[in-house]
């Protein structure tokens, strides 16, 4: 089952949010915007989330490893570079191959 790592951006908060899903990415974003995930979810703080970048993975375990790596980086510059340089995403897919 394919999975995705996705990165959202809110201009209102000037913040990024990264997550994983087995749903289609557009559907997952709509769930965040429509506040499907409960009132204590971080994405509830804004309603202007846009898809900034996504990586299609082989499966959920690979997506989870890449998501953890991205979150450990704690860097908006790193996230911007992921979107700017596609080879970075390709290298992550190789590094965290299931």
Please report which confidence band the pLDDT of residue 61 belongs to, taking 50, 70 and 90 as the band edges.
Answer: very high
The tally of domains found in the chain comes to 1
In the chain, how many H helices and how many E strands? 4, 3
Which residue range forms the structural domain that includes residue 47?
3-95
Q: What is the largest CA-CA distance in the chain?
A: 36
Mean pLDDT of 56-67: 97
Q: What pLDDT is attached to residue 39?
A: 62
* Angle in degrees, CA 3, 80, 59, rounded to 5: 10
Residue 38, domain CATH: 3.40.1440
CA distance 82 to 61: 20
Torsion angle defined by CA atoms of residues 76, 82, 97 and 20, in that order, rounded to the nearest 10 degrees = 60
pLDDT digits (tens, 9 = 90+) for 9-54: 999 999 999 999 998 888 888 877 777 766 667 888 888 889 999 9
Predicted TM-score (pTM) of this structure: 0.89
């Amino acid at each position: 089952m394919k999975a995705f790592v996705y990165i959202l951006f809110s201009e209102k908060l000037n913040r990024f949010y990264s997550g994983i899903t087995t749903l289609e990415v557009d559907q997952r974003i709509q769930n965040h915007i429509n506040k499907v995930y409960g009132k204590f979810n971080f994405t509830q703080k804004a309603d202007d989330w846009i898809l900034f970048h996504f990586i299609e993975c082989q499966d959920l375990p690979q997506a989870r490893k890449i998501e953890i790596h991205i979150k450990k980086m704690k860097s908006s510059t790193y996230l911007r570079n992921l979107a700017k340089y596609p080879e970075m995403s390709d290298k992550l897919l190789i590094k965290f191959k299931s």
